[in-house]
Structure formats: C-alpha cells, structure tokens
Amino acid sequence: MQRKTKTAKKRSAGKVGKAAARKAPARKSAAGRPAARSAAAQRALGQRAREIARLLAAEYPDAHCMLDHRSPFELLVATILAAQCTDERVNMVTPELFHRFPTPAAMAAADIRELEALIRSTGFFHNKAKSIKGAATELDGRFREGFPRTIEALLTLPGVGRKTANVILGVCFDTPAIVVDTHFRRVTQRIGIARSDDPDEIEREVAALLPPDSWTGFSHAVTFHGRRCCAARKPDHARCPVVHLCDSRDI
C-alpha cells in the first residue's frame, strides 16, 4: 500500500510539472521581449500560422469590421469610442452623433458638453469627447486636403494609437494592417503564434509569420473566432477549426 501511494504521488507530481511547463510564460530577452526562436522554429511556426490563417478564413468568410461607418472619418470616431466598449454599443451611439455632426468641421465646432452627452454610454466620455473633437479639428485643419493615409500621419491625431490607425488603414485604404484588439491578443496567445503581452509586440510577432496581403483579413477572422468560438472563459474546442494546431487545446 505504501509503495502504491508513493507511485501515485510521483505520477501526480509529474502531471503538475507538465501542466506548469505548458503554462509557463515565454522566456524574455534582456530587452523585455520574448527570446528569439531558432530559424527552424520560426519557419515551422510560420507554416503553422499560415495554415491557421487559411482555416480561419474558410470558417469566417464574412469576417469584417463590426463598427458601422460610411467614411474614414466615421470609422476613426467609432474606433476611438470603441475603447473599453463593445462595438454593439458604439453602433447604437454613432447614428445620432453623425446625424448631428456629419463632417470633421461640424464636429470640430461642436460644444464639448453636447458631445459628452451623446457618447456618455460608451464610457470614459470626457476623454473620448476631447479625442474625437481634437481629431476632427486636426482633420478640418492640417488634413483638410485629404484624409491621412499613413500610420505616421494617423498617429499624430488626438486619441489615435496603432490599433485605431491600423483599423482605418486596413478597412478604408486596403493597406495591410494587423489590428490587435482584445480578441486578437487572446486568440493569438492561446494558439501559440504570439508570446508577448504588449499589443505592439504582438503586431510585430504576427506580421513576421504571415504575408502582408493576409494581415487585414486575418485580423478580422481572428476577432470573429474570439467572439464566436474562443471565448475568454472557456473556448469551444468541439467547434474550433484550428484546435489541432492550438497550444491551448487542453484549457
């Protein structure tokens, strides 16, 4: 009996050790980034990432930006409002917002208190109102001759970070762009093609694995997958089209 108990303990410890190894965070380099993979490992991961992209594109052929818009200006405003807010809520707010302020010039001239009242339900409405009014002012001034079409120019607008800039570039101008939102971050980490927790670094990691012409479509497909299958609490492995390629299929 004593021998069996010791054996059972060893087996249990082994299982715990394996589980801990699977869940251990990626080893970081001195610069704070995940340690570089070998060339062979990077090539293998690239092949797996491309297969994942192919399968997700087949699974979600309708994947697209979920924010309702009719112009780059409207998508810019909607994306700013979507920070810490659902796309569904933003889509409820923007029709009246754009009815009252349909152009950058109109929004730039808006009373900040009226903007705040219209977008209150999206949360953080004080800061968001300042951002969309400030961005509209810049668009009506510096960019009156044309909407900015580069990430460098977009990043000069108030309230615009890489995520917002990439949404606009990929959706409105067909410029290859990777959009790292909450769903994209969770899914790419789970399937093992991103190791960092930093959105900018995740963007670089994934970009290194896929051809540029697939970046925008892959971003939409991954977000749809996160919404419909790979939920934050419990992924639906039974319906997952990439479960056989996923590092976290034992969650």
Catalytic residues: 163, 181
Give the three-state DSSP class for 42: helix
Burial label for 235, CB within 10 Å (0-12, 13-18, 19+), is: buried
**In which element (H, E) is residue 105 found?**
helix 104-108
Nearest to 75 by CA among 183, 163, 187: 163
Nearest to 65 by CA among 191, 138, 173, 202: 173
Burial label for 85, CB within 10 Å (0-12, 13-18, 19+), is: middle
Give the three-state DSSP class for 175: coil
* Cβ partners under 8 Å of residue 15, min gap 6: none
In contact, 209 and 167? CB cutoff 8 Å: no
What gap in Å lies between CA 118 and CA 14, rounded to an integer? 57
Give me the residue label for tokens 């615009």: 160
Other C-beta atoms lying within 10 Å of the C-beta of residue 11: 10
CA 192 to chain centre: 15
